[in-house]
Structure 1
Amino acid sequence: PVVAAAPGPKEPKKGQKLSGKIAQIGDNGVFVSFGGRAEAVLDVAEIRGEDGNPTKAVGDDITATVVSVGETVKLTLKGKKTGDIAGLLDAQKSGTPVEGKVTGVNKGGLVVRTLGVRAFCPFSQIDRRYIDNPQEYVGKTLTFVVTTADDKGRNVVLSRRSLLEEEAKGQAEELRQKLEIGQEMSGIVARIRPFGAFVDLGGVDGMVHVSEISHARVNDPNSVLKVGQEVKVRVVKVEDLGGSSERISLSMKQLESDPWETAVDKLTVGEQLEGKVVRVVDFGAFVEISPGVDGLVHVSALAPGRVEHPSEVVSPGDAVTAWVTQLDADKRRISLSLVDPSERSERTPRFDRGDRPPRRRGESNRPPKVHRSGDPSDGLTSMGEAFQRLREQMGE
């Protein structure tokens, strides 16, 4: 007898609701096992949450609607909104800005929901400057331009930076017309380099040299500033404004109180104090006695004995005890000594040419010349008489 073959699984039809289990989640698709000859496929974007991560896992039950049947059965979730893809395509072509809400951050940039479609904004396109903490944008609604979009809404890329740059151009022209030397302004640190920091004044960048950051010594601008920090500055120099060699020099320390104004008033000659060696040169060492105030220890005052070079005694970073030996407020000079004054007073004074009494006009340091007058009444002997006596003595 002929045995009839068991009926195979029924093929799904378009529009039919299909239930099954998630067998695999790939980069682009979700594979659903529903008992058919092959697994059905669902766009992975349809199960992603606001943070960009899948809301379902392998083994979860899922019910979806069949949208097409062929070599592959394609599904869509019931009631899933496709978003205004046409609106995104129009915005891309026309350059019309769109609003979007930042829903998350991934390894490449921000996840944004705009016009009902999940989009992406790279880190480099978030702002005109480097963003240190992109998480601060999550939950905010921002304005973007659509740089890339497809008719399926799977690859929508946004940019905020291009809008900000256009806005900055207008601000820059307005700022250049008002900019004056001595003007005090607020700005945002845009970039930091070993020689200083660039500050965005509103479409135009100015530069604060490392020596103008603070009265206190700054070796590395990164130690006192960070990108995105708001700072107060004063315009000190402007060159070729609006030209190809435009340069705006700024200062932060000019807005601080000058420590020298009070430093000298608080010090007295002979006072003992603590400090740190900040620089060593051939003729001595500079010691910071308070932020922004340095004193000089001459090489002769570094140690009781002879010192060939200051580096034999001190190095930058050394903590030292010093004594004030001289103050000059007008010249902003403080002379210091690392030798205890009581110890220095016991040293044998060195010969100093300055200790000689001043020479009178016409005087000479050479021995006096022999008197040649030959007059015995003046008590002196002529050269001829001297030689004659010498011959007589030798003849004897």
Structure 2
Amino acid sequence: MSEPAPDPRLQSLINQLRPGAVRTVKVTGFDGADVLVQLVDAAGEKAETGRIPGHEASMRRVEHPSELFEVGQEIDAEEIGRWREGELHLSARACEIPALRSFLLAVERGQVVTGTVAEVHNFGVFVHIDGEPNGFCTGFIRVPDLTWGWINHPSEVVEAGQRITAEVVVTETRSGQVTLSLKALQENPLIRFADQVGCVLTGPIIKIVPFGVFVQLARDVVGFLNLSELTDESVETPDRLVDEGELITVKVAAVDLQRHRVRLGPAGRADRI
């Protein structure tokens, strides 16, 4: 069975985060926390106007962008789009540190990189990518990109100081960050599991939520059984019917490779063991 097609919503987000063209602009003033600019062409002549939103002025924290720029100063900024009836918006922070920008532009989506885990948090993992400029930590792995399996905390997969190999998902010059994925280098377990549709399997309940239960069906494969499939009786929550760790026999109703989901149904009735 072939790999699932890329999620078009993810692709759209990645396209928005990709680095834009770099333009030379002249600071003309300030509008609150925003920097007003005028584009300058190669001959130094005036061109259209634009703005640098306050949060795109610098990676440093300042009270006001006037601490960074003066009226008449020329700077490089990256195009990030058009708002307010076509007004051009730019990012100065994306061009603020040349060594960092050069490193980020050299890292491409799909590239396999190595690095060292710097910090592990409940929301994700920070990674020092080999070759990044000193003083920066450019890599980040979101929790869903750590593994295909079910985990309660990223520390179940990696630890600080560990050497890892990961695939680049997207590089963001504006944040100075490279989003990485460990599971992109692992086989999607649902590809092999997809032929189990229609089969009756038994596994432990690993999580109970108000609308149903999650069942471990195989290594790195978890399915969801809706509350309505647990009983014909009217109950408010599944924890009145089953317990975590309890074995339950279910039927694999569907495998969605695109969303990485397994839908379960009753095996006759969802038998408990």
Which TM class, normalised by the smaller chain length? 0.5 to 0.7
Match of 1:188 among 110, 113, 116: 116
Question: Do the aligned partners of residues 343 and 297 (structure 1) sit closer, same or farther apart at CA in structure 2, a change above 3 Å counting?
Answer: closer
Q: Larger C-alpha radius of gyration, 1 or 2?
A: 1
Match of 2:168 among 219, 235, 242: 235
RMSD over aligned CA atoms reads: 2.9
Matched, 1:179 2:107: yes
Question: Do the aligned partners of residues 224 and 334 (structure 1) sit closer, same or farther apart at CA in structure 2, a change above 3 Å counting?
Answer: closer
Matched, 1:269 2:236: no
Q: Which runs of 5+ in 2 are unaligned?
A: 1-96
Displacement of 1:216 in angstroms is 0.5
CA distance in 2, matches of 1:306, 1:327: 25
CA contact (8 A) 1:289 1:295 kept: yes
Task: Tell me the residue number matched to 1:299.
Answer: 227
- Cα deviations by residue, 1:41-100 (Å, 9 ceiling, x for unpaired): xxxxxxxxxxxxxxxxxxxxxxxxxxxxxxxxxxxxxxxxxxxxxxxxxxxxxxxxxxxx
With 271-280 and 177-186 compared, the bigger mean Cα shift is at: 271-280
Q: Which runs of 5+ in 1 are unaligned?
A: 1-168, 345-396
Displacement of 1:223 in angstroms is 2.0
CA distance in 2, matches of 1:223, 1:270: 30
Greater relative contact order (CA < 8 Å, ≥ 6 in sequence): 2
Displacement of 1:219 in angstroms is 1.5
- Cα deviations by residue, 1:336-361 (Å, 9 ceiling, x for unpaired): 24x551799xxxxxxxxxxxxxxxxx
Matched, 1:319 2:207: no
Task: State the percentage of identical aligned residues.
Answer: 25
Matched, 1:253 2:179: no
Comparing both structures, which one devotes a greater share of its residues to strand?
Answer: 2
CA distance in 1, matches of 2:269, 2:118: 54
The 5-angstrom pairing of residues 15-26 of structure 1 reads none
CA contact (8 A) 1:277 1:320 kept: no
Normalization by structure 1: what TM-score? Answer: 0.38
Task: Tell me the residue number matched to 1:310.
Answer: 238
Give the aligned residue type for 1:314: V
With 251-260 and 299-308 compared, the bigger mean Cα shift is at: 299-308
- What is the SS of the residue equivalent to 2:194? helix
CA distance in 1, matches of 2:224, 2:241: 14
Normalization by structure 2: what TM-score? Answer: 0.54
- What is the SS of the residue equivalent to 2:147? coil
Question: Do the aligned partners of residues 219 and 246 (structure 1) sit closer, same or farther apart at CA in structure 2, a change above 3 Å counting?
Answer: same
Give the aligned residue type for 1:184: V
